[in-house]
A and B are shown apart, each in its own frame.
Chain A
Amino acid sequence: MMAELKVSGITFAYEEAPILENVNIELHEHELVSILGASGCGKTTLFHIISGLHKPQQGKVVLNGKDITGCPGQISYMMQKDLLLPYRTIEDNVSLPLVLKGEKKRKAREKVSLYFEEFGLEGTQKKYPCQLSGGMRQRAALLRTYMFSRDVALLDEPFSALDTLTKSEMHRWYLDVMDKIHLSTLFITHDIDEAILLSDRIYLLTGKPGRVTEEIIIKEPKPRKKEFNLTEEFLEYKRRILERL
């Protein structure tokens, strides 16, 4: 399998304080890979570097063989907050990436309208973000991320602000959508259960400055049932991760 995204030897310091040291990450086609680590270990900084918002002192970000280090606008990035613009309707929020690329407003609306059902957002097109629940806003933000690029998406703790019940509902929804759209995804989380449930592989990012200390492969085939997190294998993965964190 050909590597789609290759992050190699990333070292980054902010005002003399080292944040990341020699981080290597690979993301293959249609894979979901989690980066698991405690708060403050540089996960979000790593995403800022991969998306091109920050330039690392050392290391390279290569997407499909092209060096994109420090060039924004190549990879979809969904941040922790949904960041939907309060003054745009959901359809206009979702079509923003297309409009930014020079697409006409009406054409962009037409294109995004095809995905509303798939993402469980039907009927929200003309609504404003404040009229939607947290889970629905997250879905809209994810659809916007998907509209930007079908290759690789970075998701920074997309479900962390939701309550437990909404969160597990979103997990089920997410696994379901991913099964249909096959997005290659890098996923930040500090929730071990979430990482095991959703990922094909997990990188553990620990220490200060942050380093990748372990790579764990989750062998459970997809699509996964939600009962997976009650099985013995699941607990075995969890035990292994807890030992190393």
Chain B
Amino acid sequence: MKRKSPNITSKLLPVTAVFLLLAIWQAASSAGVIPGFLLPSPLEVAMAFAEDFPLLMENARVTLLEAFIGLAAGILIGFVTAVLMDCFEWLYRAVYPLIVLTQTVPTVAIAPLLVLWFGYEMLPKVILIVIVTFFPITVSLLDGFRAADKDTISLLRSMGASKAQIFRYVKFPGALGAFFASLRISVSYAVVGAVISEWLGGFNGLGVYMTRVKKAFSFDKMFAVIFLISAISLLLMWSVNVLQKVSMPWEEENR
């Protein structure tokens, strides 16, 4: 029943576009249209990536660790906040504006403050990631809980279900789709958040590596690390897709 051919053509187009763009870039660099010190060619970037590979991996490990701890804490806090706000209407009204407010504060502005308060170690980075990741999770889960069908809830009540059972059998599974959509956003926020916080103080991580190569004007290495960060984000978003397919098997059948 799986339709295979449209899937292949749908992937073929974007892949071709990416390769075409890289080819044009390479051609422009080789022909000397763009000077190498301003924009290194894709080949130079690839070579820089290979040369610094062990160093990049070592730094990526640190960044990923921060991102994962921050994301896990963000999900946990987001989940608990959403559940509490769904249970208590007064809490919802009191806290919702505050939560929105946390998102209007620019990340770059609070990162140095966090470094000042919590030092150069992992803690300020994790806190920053929590701030940027819990918001999408909270909001989407809350919307998911509140969108639960009133009649279905009545039906379960008529069967004598408790509030906790209604949450478990109706609200929570109903909010899963929205949760995964927000998780896709949150994983990329987590990686970017980790890099930004490393810029502003730290001993290792991709952000620290980035500031170092920038100071040395090694733009080829700069691009190498940018591509690596993009690749990591994409890989994580893809993992979320896989996780979603595994935990929501009924979605596959609905297609």
Contact = CB atoms under 8 A, between A and B. Distances in A.
Interface in B188-210: none
Contacts, number: 60
A77 B165 contact: no
A87 B159 CA distance: 19
Contacts of B163: none
Contacts of B158: 51-53, 72-73, 75, 77
Interface stretch (B70-78, B226-234, B246-254): B246-254
B160 A85 contact: no
B254 A53 contact: no
B253 A131 contact: yes
A101 B254 CA distance: 29
A130 B200 CA distance: 52
B154 interface: yes
Interface in B154-169: 154-161, 165, 169
B253 A85 contact: no
B254 A86 contact: yes
Contacts of A52: 158
Given A97-B159, A100-B161, A87 B173 contact: yes
A222 interface: no
A97 to B, nearest CB: 5
A79 interface: yes
Nearest to A89: B250
A198 interface: no
A83 B158 CA distance: 13
Interface in A101-135: 101, 127-128, 130-131
Interface string A59-91: 000000000000011110101010101111000
Given A75-B158, A100-B159, 9 more contacts: A72-B158, A77-B155, A79-B151, A79-B155, A96-B159, A99-B169, A100-B165, A101-B160, A148-B159
Interface of B: 149, 151-152, 154-161, 165, 169-170, 173-174, 176, 248, 250, 253-254
Interface of A: 48, 51-53, 72-75, 77, 79, 81, 83, 85-88, 96-97, 99-101, 127-128, 130-131, 148
19 contacts: A53-B157, A72-B160, A73-B158, A73-B159, A73-B160, A77-B158, A79-B155, A83-B151, A83-B152, A83-B155, A85-B169, A86-B250, A96-B169, A100-B160, A100-B161, A101-B160, A128-B254, A130-B250, A130-B253
